[in-house]
Structure 1
Amino acid sequence: MMLLQLPAELWLKVFSFLSWKDKLSVRLTCSHFRNLLDKSRSLWRGFSVVLRQFSRYNPPFWRSLAQRHVVGVSVRSGKRKHLKQLSAWLPALEALRLDDWREGGVDELRLFHQLQRLSVTSCSTPLKNVDFLFPLSQQLLQLSLCDVQLTCPASHLLAALSQLTRLTSLLLHHDGSLKVPTLRGVLTHLRELKRLSWTMITYRTLTQDFFSLLTGVSAGDSALQLSHLQLLNYDAVVSQEVLQPLSRLRSLSIFHLYSVPGPTCHLQTWLKSLPQLRSLSVHGGHPLAMYADFLPSSLLSLTLCVDLQPDDLQVVSLRAPHLEHLHLEPWSSSSDLVRLLPQLFPHLKTLRIRHQHLSDSDFLCLQQLQRLHTLEVLDSFYRPDPIDPSWVVYQPSPRLLQLISELQKLTNHRVRVITSSLRDPLSCHCV
């Protein structure tokens, strides 16, 4: 009882150190804590909720969300009537994800006058058109259409996208049925666009004007504002002329369609055309040895989910001596690679690796990375019974927990170790 008499400001300071899950647990302990938590907007900044089976939610539930000023919601298996209910209780919603949308249209989106982030993904029902985008043309900043069946012509989709002139981020992932010969007509209108994620499965050779702006644009404005580009199912032939409008690009992610796309490694062309690249992510495609010599010295972040050997990392360390962020998932075992990291990349601040085939000594050698502050273990699961490999426990094994404890002691708890990634429920999960 004495604890409850502490000033509200002190409790709110304590609550600010809790995770979302812990905050939700604390608010269930008593009405005093529930009122403190629900009425403190700052404690819930960035908080998103996942809603399904709307019949379960009563007015007190909706009021609790409204009190917390929740601005991000993911609706699963929803219908139009659910959007009407959502707009009534949370009219100031800024971010919305529709997962497995069950109807052919989403016209009710016009009810959300402050909506800035929209994601429509994994729809079992085809979308007949994208007319729902037109009322949002002056407010949407981020749009994601992922694994959505579109029965409208590609020209209609591109016309709708061209109206979203405030977009800073656009994601369009499809099954290859969308035939788009060039993006120039869209990119010319999206002058604020910084991030683009696009499926490239049908493009065998990119036309010279694929990334170009329309004619009539002044020479000083000929370069796109794009800083982040992500290409899925990539198998395209490209030239340096095609890539000329991407001179401001700082981050490139390539997810190859095939393990080895062909005899020519076109990633070499990309790297030669982007000498100021800061971040590179490569998944599949040619072995690292095919393009390691072309890595720009400006690289600070590198993701490699490819075929590579220890000698390849030696080349990478010479080409990118200031690397600070590394995500390493080689196709072969990484047991011979991790022990090299402290010598090759002494400036690493964050590292993502798998640990299953590492020896204890190789894992603990990471304490030699003097600037490392975050280590993420990507395979935090184990099989407790060697006789039954189908039995998998999706949590850190006792061995991994012991290794983490020893590493933190060796680094005086300088290194934070993450064993499970908490993804944004509003983000695309296909990459």
Structure 2
Amino acid sequence: MSVIQWLQLPQEVLLHILTFLSPMEKANVRATCTYLRTLVDRPSLWKSSTIVFKSIGIYNARFWDTLQNRKICSVEVRKVTLKQLKKMASSLPDITNVRMDACLKGEILQGLQPLLNLKQLHLTECSNVTDHDLFTEILFFQHLTHLSLCRVTFSSVLPLTSIVLLQNLYSLSLHSKEGIVPERALQYILFRLPKLRELSLATGNMNKWKLSLCFNMPDNFVSAFEEQPCIPRLQLHKLELMNCRCASLSTNAFNQLSTLKSVCLRHFKCLQHEDFIETILLKLPQLTELKLEWAAPFEPLMCPIPLKLESLSLVGTLISNSTLVWFSKSAGELKSLNLNFSHGYDEEFVKKIPSLFPHLQNLYLSKSRLTEEALVVLANLYSLRVLDISNNLHLSPNAILAFRKMTSNRIGLILDRPMESVKYCC
């Protein structure tokens, strides 16, 4: 088809084709003619895009007009001043999602106040601002549904309790600089945020009783802020514990967490944690996703137990053939298995994956010693749609091409994954 014929396609068809292009490819298409520039700037093509600003001060008025026409909703800021932040907020009034990797200082968040509809705020470096100043400014954004705070220092209980005024919160991440969150304050806010469904904590040296207290019904705790009604039960769906050294939770805590569907233990280094993981599997009947990422080795102590797991992630973890077989007997309906950067299992296990996990739709084997023979066997996973074989030095281009032909290209192969993309940090 010639270029002229291609341009004669209906706009709806062209727009659909453009959705498959990367931002760089869209930019190349945009530079060809006025008609395609108008199409590429359609807001529908950018609604899921995040604009990354490494330095806001270098952009001109035409640049801001282009982004405003695209109705950009999500931005990531690497380096910024208060004046530049105000410029971005006034130029892009449709922003609802802001991630700031820049080090917060003073009253810089005031620059975001023009964003009246801000719903997601992720701050990755809060070590240079006091918790009092931080929460005072965050409370301005009453429509927040997602809040992430990393490297924050909690000086006392009261500043943190002010979060209860953000009654629309759906997701909350608190990763303190010292790895400890005031348990009384956390307990207070968890039972006063009725819409909260996702929680991520860096628990550091919190012991069983302090962590359990966070998930127990609070007593008559008094806050300096207007009292919010206390809900009788938590309704969390996702829980992430980072740098956790706690080996258990109380029975009352597990009862409050019975609605959990996803649990992630990241950088879990407790040497006697098998009982904790198996207790999680036993006590949380709704669990469909389990993540043990960069964790201490896990060797089950019990016989297989019936699980509803659909997704299992064992990233960067020592895991044996026998443990993986245990999971296959416990979670026979598993649809996603992530073994990226894990070790301890061998090629013989990989060859058994089609028989052990026949319903897999997603399989991640980055940096595995995957041979051509094992790759051929994986073609027998008839429900598989995504296969990650990146960072593998044992597969030739010819072997990958042969696999594509064998599976009629029904499986999307991930062949390139930067090492830094799997480094988990706040």
Superposition TM-score tier, normalisation by shorter sequence: 0.7 to 0.9
Aligned equivalents of 1:293, 1:61: Cα separation in 2: 61
SS of residue paired to 2:147 = strand
Greater RCO structure (CA 8 Å; 6+ sep): 1
Relative distance call for 1:352 and 1:295 in structure 2 (3 A) is farther
Measured after TM superposition, the shift of residue 333 of structure 1 is: 5.2
Q: Is residue 247 of structure 1 aligned with residue 258 of structure 2?
A: yes
SS of residue paired to 1:209 = helix
Normalised by the length of structure 1, the TM-score is 0.85
Could you say which residue in structure 1 is the equivalent of 2:425? 430
Could you say which residue in structure 2 is the equivalent of 1:345? 357
Aligned equivalents of 1:200, 1:74: Cα separation in 2: 26
Kept in 1, the 8 Å contact 2:310–2:334? The answer is: yes
Q: Is residue 171 of structure 1 aligned with residue 182 of structure 2?
A: no
Larger mean Cα displacement after TM superposition, 337-346 or 101-110:
101-110
* Residues 18-417 of structure 1 aligned to structure 2 (within 5 Å): 18-38=21-41, 40-105=42-107, 106-123=109-126, 125-127=128-130, 129-130=133-134, 131-136=136-141, 138-146=142-150, 148-150=151-153, 153-176=155-178, 178-182=180-184, 183-207=186-210, 208-214=212-218, 222-236=232-246, 237-258=248-269, 260-262=270-272, 265-290=275-300, 293=303, 296-305=306-315, 306-329=317-340, 330-332=342-344, 334-379=346-391, 399-417=395-413
Relative distance call for 1:17 and 1:263 in structure 2 (3 A) is closer
Larger mean Cα displacement after TM superposition, 323-332 or 64-73:
323-332
Kept in 2, the 8 Å contact 1:71–1:92? The answer is: yes
Kept in 2, the 8 Å contact 1:79–1:102? The answer is: no
Measured after TM superposition, the shift of residue 31 of structure 1 is: 2.9
Structure 2 gaps of 5+ residues are 221-229
Measured after TM superposition, the shift of residue 400 of structure 1 is: 5.0
Measured after TM superposition, the shift of residue 264 of structure 1 is: 6.5
Normalised by the length of structure 2, the TM-score is 0.86
Paired AA for residue 407 in structure 1: F
Kept in 2, the 8 Å contact 1:377–1:417? The answer is: yes
Relative distance call for 1:154 and 1:124 in structure 2 (3 A) is closer
SS of residue paired to 1:33 = helix
Aligned equivalents of 1:119, 1:368: Cα separation in 2: 42
Which aligned segments of 4 or more residues in structure 1 are displaced greater than 6 angstroms? Answer: none
Measured after TM superposition, the shift of residue 110 of structure 1 is: 1.9
Measured after TM superposition, the shift of residue 295 of structure 1 is: 5.2
Kept in 2, the 8 Å contact 1:324–1:349? The answer is: yes
Measured after TM superposition, the shift of residue 341 of structure 1 is: 0.5
Identity in percent? 28
Measured after TM superposition, the shift of residue 184 of structure 1 is: 1.8
Aligned equivalents of 2:183, 2:402: Cα separation in 1: 55
Aligned equivalents of 1:70, 1:170: Cα separation in 2: 24
Larger mean Cα displacement after TM superposition, 200-209 or 74-83:
200-209
Paired AA for residue 139 in structure 2: F
Larger mean Cα displacement after TM superposition, 175-184 or 86-95:
175-184
SS of residue paired to 2:252 = helix
Kept in 1, the 8 Å contact 2:208–2:250? The answer is: no
Paired AA for residue 135 in structure 1: F
Paired AA for residue 360 in structure 1: E
Kept in 1, the 8 Å contact 2:188–2:218? The answer is: yes
CA RMSD in angstroms comes to 2.8
SS of residue paired to 1:111 = coil
SS of residue paired to 1:186 = helix
Aligned equivalents of 1:325, 1:297: Cα separation in 2: 14
Structure 1 gaps of 5+ residues are 383-396
Relative distance call for 1:88 and 1:48 in structure 2 (3 A) is same
Could you say which residue in structure 2 is the equivalent of 1:394? none
